[in-house]
Amino acid sequence: MLHRLEKKGYLTSYHERTGSRDRRLYEITEQGRVALTDAKAKVKELFGELIEGR
């Protein structure tokens, strides 16, 4: 899932060495922040309709 989000431009990744392990770390992009804000609004609207019966 993280790879797909990265392909869409929502995340960037980089490698970091921790001891003997190589780790891939992810950071959200500005495009990812916008998409997250939109998704939160849609979820909030959906739950409002389910709970309040709008």
- Domains in the chain: boundaries: 2-52
Q: Is the pLDDT of residue 51 over 60?
A: yes
29, 12 in Cβ contact below 8 A?
A: yes
Q: Which CATH number is associated with domain 2-52?
A: 1.10.10.10
pLDDT score recorded for residue 4:
97
Rounded Cα distance between 1 and 32, Å, is: 14
d(CA 8, CA 30): 12
Distance of CA 8 to the CA centre of its chain: 11
10-50 pLDDT per residue, tens: 999 999 998 999 999 999 999 999 999 999 999 999 888 78
Q: With a cut of 80, say whether residue 54 has pLDDT above it.
A: no
Task: State the Cα torsion 18-11-35-50 to the nearest 10°.
Answer: -50
3-state secondary structure of 32: helix
Q: What is the mean pLDDT of the chain?
A: 93
Residue 8: is its pLDDT beyond 60? yes
Q: What is the pTM of this model?
A: 0.73
